[in-house]
A and B are shown apart, each in its own frame.
Chain A
Amino acid sequence: MQELYHVAPYTGYVYPNETVFPWGVLIVIYPYITGLVAGSFTVSTFYHVFGMKRFEPVARFALLTALSFMIFVPTPLLFHLGHPERALNALWTPHLTSAMAAFGYTAGFYILLLMLETGFIFRQHIVARAQATTGVVRGFYRILAFGSDDVSENALAYDRKWIRALALIGMPGAHILHGYAGFVFGSLKAREWWASDLMPAIFLSSAVISGIALLVLLYVAVAKVRKFALDNECMRGLAYTLFGFLIFTLVLELLEFVNLIYKGREGIETVMALIAGPLALGLNIQLVGSVIPLVVLTVMIWRKTQGTPLVVGLTVSAALIMIAVLAMRWNVVIGGQELSKTMKGLLTYHAPIWGREGIVVAASVFIAPFFVLWALTRLFPPWDAGSQRA
């Protein structure tokens, strides 16, 4: 019966004349993870490119965060498409109209860039480890050091140049990568809920806030576990950045929404039914999760809050923003498909728990980067002051 249910309405003659959701929770997680990369990389460039000293305590950790999440960015797509052995076909035979091939190139380039950047920033540490250890560990570090133990002033000067250059190239790289995710949705003109030129910008700015929020949460958590004091200036810097990008995001989202309603193109009744019906919960989560942090951050910035209250306020805001952005991804990805392409009726999405596209897989894909991040901080300690400062 279940199979039949799957086939039957699809071949029918009744509106909405589609029932299949090509994109499920996995594709919700996909732009979410990509966004976290863009956000944490942005914080790291504040220090490495713009030289904002207040971000120094988290700059290297931010880079490792970006790397660990970036490694997993393609996984939701591979699970979704289900033919990993064909993943590279789009790259071998690219087409100018293929957004997927463009993604493959950008993502591949960007992973490489993040690895190089990490390698350079931790090179002194890598060389030191290669000298201090033996056996396999030594071999590992020696490969990363390209068999060289040159940490002369001349070599370090070269490293610094590369770090800056890579971060400089990486900035547009990170933002193009995420702008692209928004483009993929925004360019699908058949989907009223997606087809907006603001989509890439919205994806980008919400990516940045989610990435900063993640960094705040991780920074606070690590400080608790490792029992070091949070850097007050760094926390304030994060609060300012979060505040700025949050406003930018909200304005863009509002503009897009008002635009959609005001234009009132064909099918607007269905959009309204979507907002009032299946999407009401998600939109409210998104709204509450953005407005409360906005208020909290405004008050904190106005009152120049410091110390523990700042930590509490910022942590709460960050947690809410993480949830709000996840809800936003859901609202875009699932919401857009809940509108029938004919705009004659709504579809209902039931997220499967098990299975290749189920919640369990999606949650695992989201959680896995945290383990990788933990492993990376073991190999390349971002916190102790002994390693190289860029």
Chain B
Amino acid sequence: MPKHIVRLIMSLGIVILLVIGSKALFTADSFGVYGHYRANAVPEIASDTPKYKGPDYCQLCHSERHATWSAHRHGKVKCEVCHGPAGEHPATGKLPIPSDTVKLCSTCHEAMPARPAAQPQIVVSQHSGTQACIACHNPHAPRIASSGGSDR
């Protein structure tokens, strides 16, 4: 057999040994203790602090806002959906107040095929153009009373 073929086969053998060796070396430590995953991942994830606190938490300090909100249509939409996850707020600072409401509100209200009919939808370009939604709607009590019907 020519020299280069012999050497090629030997090199391929070395590559295979290297691969087997690396598998032994690089497999994560606690892998496979319980199943096909890294056992250490469980305590690591469990020790994460939750980022979302839920509306009950907000009520502690923003009780007035909470009262308005829970009495109106948007009572189903949790505060942190619009204001972002609370995390350690207020220790870490104020939560953002969404400024581009057209963008915020149209993610849920822009008319779309196959969106369930029960979901209030508008065609934003016809409804209000580029005007901010909060020029007319209160984000915490969105239904406009003059349009008739109760706000609940």
Contacts and interface: CB of A to CB of B under 8 A. Distances in A.
B13 interface: no
Nearest to A14: B108
Contacts of A343: 114
Contact of A19 (B77, B99, B107): B107
Given A93-B31, A123-B4, A16 B115 contact: yes
Chain A's interface size range is 35 or more
B1 A11 contact: no
Contacts of A89: 26, 28
Nearest to B114: A270
Contacts of A148: 2-4, 7
Interface residues of B, number: 41
Nearest to B38: A93
Interface string B9-33: 0010001000000110011100110
B70 to A, nearest CB: 15
A111 B108 CA distance: 47
A344 B41 CA distance: 35
A11 B83 CA distance: 11
A92 B7 contact: no
A308 interface: no
Nearest to A10: B81
A221 interface: no
Nearest to A157: B2
Nearest to A19: B107
Contacts of B3: 146-148, 150
B116 interface: yes
Contacts of B80: 11
Nearest to A88: B26
A9 interface: yes
B78 interface: yes
Contacts of B98: 1, 4, 8
B67 interface: no
Interface string B34-57: 001000000000000000100000
Interface string B60-90: 0000000000000000111011111100000
A15 B116 CA distance: 7
B99 to A, nearest CB: 5
B135 interface: no
B20 to A, nearest CB: 11
Contacts of B28: 89, 93
A190 interface: no
Given A7-B85, A277-B113, 10 more contacts: A4-B82, A7-B84, A8-B81, A11-B52, A14-B108, A152-B2, A155-B4, A155-B5, A340-B114, A346-B113
Interface of B: 1-5, 7-8, 11, 15, 22-23, 26-28, 31-32, 36, 52, 76-78, 80-85, 96, 98-100, 103-104, 107-108, 112-116, 119
Sort A-B residue pairs by CB-CB distance and give the 6 closest, nearest first: A273-B113, A148-B4, A155-B2, A146-B7, A148-B3, A146-B4
